[in-house]
């Protein structure tokens, strides 16, 4: 590549990869047609976006009747699809673009393709089986392994993620030679540190952060090398929009699936309780304030749909670019995306 | 000096980390399913030569280092210091053992090299990929052997010892790859 400032007009993906991509899309559509799952399209430009404190949405100014309105490019079609579910759509799937601010890397393009689908009547285990079937079809892999979050940490790091203290987590990081910048190492003995150890299960953000580092730096690279691997039953504090199963410890009905060390999808047995959902959104907003991040208003239409009643269902969001990257044996997203950020 | 956000840092950039000038080897972005993103930086400390991996918050930032590479010529050494002159500025630099390090066995008077300067001070000397040096000592070897096994050791005018084919003789000039210390070919005067 020449070191030129002007980008190349050529696509970042070779044409044969685009042909492969089209064939994969057809296989995916056939997969869902055989299962009577309806294909839908929902808006990418909406008045609201997610309140998740760690996701930044890209906004656009939409002129309506001469006035400027701030709209958001969707980070996932979830909210609109849940409104469809509440309206009686039945099982639905969507292949669409999603957009995220500040996510750029070998496996991240700010504009990417999502495959998202919802299954009334499925719990997260049934949906894992369906995701497994899809991966076998598209990646030609064998049936996936499945581990709970606790089993995974026990097996790879010898710790119980639900009961480990922050001190235990730091020791584990050090034992695995993970070096952190000073910003990521809070001074030991600080009150914040101690209170987080005692915080109720739903608010342990510091624990979750270090657990996440251990997962991404120490476990993920070794995970699912030969066949896909599901991780399920996450700590309740990492539930996002999934149901929480009461117990000791309470667990989130959430799963992720990996292949060759790469996270492909995130699924939930969806939370249907509008009040609980509102509480989680409010906690997100508070966290956004604490982190000094842009304020996001709550999507009342989603909450109204939940209150009107969505069927008991599970849903999953899968990174389609990554799936196709793996299926085509590429190591980066760019060879499977027609024009990535570098020359879009 | 400029400050760079973790999301703008690319391989090849020079940064100050823990007070030392470093060059970035790789910057990997991690974004967990629902959590704070981090960047794992792999970088080489230009003073110690060590390669280190460290994880940063994605919205963190690191100071850029004023590090430049200049073409220079080796002048002479008194055993303690090695003296160089930058080809463009004619500025002279005295460099110590630690900075000359592996380069010193490839330096002959007027020889070209690159100097890495941090805030104007030399921190590293890099010889060119190939140098041509005369053999000052080597055994005669077996006449007529053109593709011998293993070859024989030869001492070069700079003191470097390189394995050369058996047919190469004392007084001849040879081309050597400084990156791996291997003989490449003879040089006809």
Tens-place pLDDT, residues B61-97: 999 999 999 999 999 988 788 999 999 999 999 998 8
Per-residue pLDDT of A114-169, as tens digits, reads: 999 999 999 999 999 999 999 999 999 999 999 999 999 999 999 999 999 888 99
Residue A169 has φ and ψ, to the nearest 5°, of -65, -40
Contact (CB<8Å) A217/B40: yes
Contact (CB<8Å) B60/A183: yes
pLDDT at B143: 56
Structure token digits, residue A68: 């400027």
The region of weakest confidence among A179-188, A195-204, B16-25, B90-99 is: A195-204
DSSP E strands, chain B = 3-5, 14-17, 20-30, 38-45, 51-57, 61-63, 67-77, 81-86, 92-96, 112-118, 121-126, 130-138, 152-156, 161-164, 173-177, 182-187
Contact (CB<8Å) A184/B30: no
Query: How far is residue A117's CA from residue A123's CA, in Å, rounded to a whole number?
Result: 13
- Reported ipTM: the value is 0.75
Within a 13 Å sphere around the CA of A44, how many CA atoms are in the beta-carbon half? Answer: 14
Residue with tokens 């952060």: A209
A341 and A110 Cβ atoms separated by less than 8 Å: yes
Q: Which of A102, A107, A110, A265 to mutate to test the interface with B (most CBs of B within 10 A)?
A: A102
Q: Give residue ranges of A with CB < 8 Å to any B CB.
A: 52, 54, 102-108, 178-181, 183-184, 208-209, 212-213, 215-217, 238, 240, 256, 263, 266
pLDDT band at A194 (very low <50, low <70, confident <90, very high): very low
Residue B186 has φ and ψ, to the nearest 5°, of -85, 155
Per-residue pLDDT of A206-230, as tens digits, reads: 788 899 999 999 999 999 999 999 9
pTM given for the model: 0.79
User: Considering chain A, what percentage of its residues have pLDDT values greater than 70?
Assistant: 93
Please name which of A150, A160, A133, A159 lies closest in space to residue A265, comparing C-alpha atoms: A133
Q: Average pLDDT, stretch A27-53?
A: 96
pLDDT at B117: 92
Structure token digits, residue A146: 């499945």
Residue B149 has φ and ψ, to the nearest 5°, of -80, 125
| pLDDT at residue A18 is higher than 50 | yes
Cα A338 to the center of its chain, rounded Å = 23
pLDDT at A301: 96
Residue with tokens 């579910």: A85
In chain A, what residues touch B54 (CB-CB under 8 Å)? 179-181
Give A201-207 contacts, CB < 8 A, sequence gap 24+: A201/A235, A201/A236, A201/A237, A201/A249, A201/A250, A202/A236, A202/A237, A202/A239, A202/A244, A203/A237, A203/A283, A204/A235, A204/A237, A205/A237, A205/A287, A206/A166, A207/A164, A207/A166, A207/A169, A207/A235, A207/A237
DSSP state of A270: B
Query: How far is residue B28's CA from residue A104's CA, in Å, rounded to a whole number?
Result: 10
Contact (CB<8Å) B57/A217: no
């Amino acid at each position: 590549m020449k070191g030129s400032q002007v980008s190349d007009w050529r696509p970042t993906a070779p044409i044969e990869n685009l042909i492969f991509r089209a064939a994969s899309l057809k296989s995916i559509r056939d997969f869902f047609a055989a299962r009577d799952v309806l294909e839908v399209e929902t808006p990418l430009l909406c008045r609201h976006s997610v309140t998740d404190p760690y996701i930044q949405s890209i906004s656009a100014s939409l002129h309506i009747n001469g006035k400027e309105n701030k709209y958001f490019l969707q980070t996932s079609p979830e909210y609109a699809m849940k409104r469809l579910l509440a309206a009686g759509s039945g099982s639905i799937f969507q292949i669409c673009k999603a957009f995220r601010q500040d996510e750029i890397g070998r496996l991240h393009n700010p504009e990417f393709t999502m495959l998202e689908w919802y299954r009334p009547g499925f719990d997260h285990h049934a949906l894992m089986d369906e995701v497994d079937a899809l991966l076998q079809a598209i990646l030609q892999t064998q049936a996936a392994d499945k581990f709970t979050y606790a089993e995974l940490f026990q097996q790879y790091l010898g710790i119980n993620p639900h009961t480990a203290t922050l001190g235990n987590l730091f020791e584990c990081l050090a034992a695995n030679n993970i070096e952190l910048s000073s910003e990521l190492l809070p001074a030991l003995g600080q009150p914040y540190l101690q209170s987080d150890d005692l915080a109720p299960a739903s608010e342990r953000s510091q624990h979750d952060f270090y657990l996440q580092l251990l997962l991404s730096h120490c476990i993920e690279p070794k995970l699912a090398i030969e066949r896909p691997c599901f991780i399920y039953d996450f700590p309740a504090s990492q539930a996002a929009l999934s149901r929480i199963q009461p117990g000791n410890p309470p667990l989130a009905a959430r799963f992720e699936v990996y292949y060759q060390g790469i996270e492909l999808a995130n699924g939930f047995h969806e939370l249907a309780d509008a009040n609980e959902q509102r509480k989680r959104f409010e906690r997100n907003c508070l966290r956004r304030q604490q982190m000094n991040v842009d304020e996001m208003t709550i999507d009342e239409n989603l909450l109204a749909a939940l209150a009107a009643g969505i069927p008991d269902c599970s849903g999953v969001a899968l990174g389609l670019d990554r799936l196709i990257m793996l299926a085509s044996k590429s190591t980066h997203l760019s060879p499977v995306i027609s024009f990535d950020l570098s020359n879009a | 000096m400029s400050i760079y956000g973790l999301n703008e840092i690319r391989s090849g950039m020079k940064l100050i980390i823990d007070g030392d000038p470093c060059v970035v080897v790789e910057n990997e972005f991690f974004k967990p399913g629902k959590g704070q993103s981090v960047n794992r930086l792999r970088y080489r400390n230009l003073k110690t030569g060590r390669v280190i991996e460290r994880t940063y918050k994605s919205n963190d930032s690191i100071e850029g280092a004023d590090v430049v590479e200049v073409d220079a010529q080796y002048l002479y050494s008194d055993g303690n210091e090695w003296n160089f002159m930058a080809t463009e500025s004619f500025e002279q630099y005295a460099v110590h053992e630690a900075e000359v390090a592996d380069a010193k066995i490839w330096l002959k008077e007027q020889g070209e090299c690159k100097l890495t300067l941090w805030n104007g001070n030399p921190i590293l000397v890099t010889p060119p990929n190939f140098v041509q040096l005369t053999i000052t000592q080597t055994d005669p070897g077996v006449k007529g052997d053109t593709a011998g096994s293993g070859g024989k050791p030869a001492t070069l005018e700079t003191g470097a010892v390189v394995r050369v084919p058996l047919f190469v003789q004392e007084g001849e000039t040879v081309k050597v790859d400084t990156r791996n210390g291997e003989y490449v070919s003879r040089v006809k005067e």
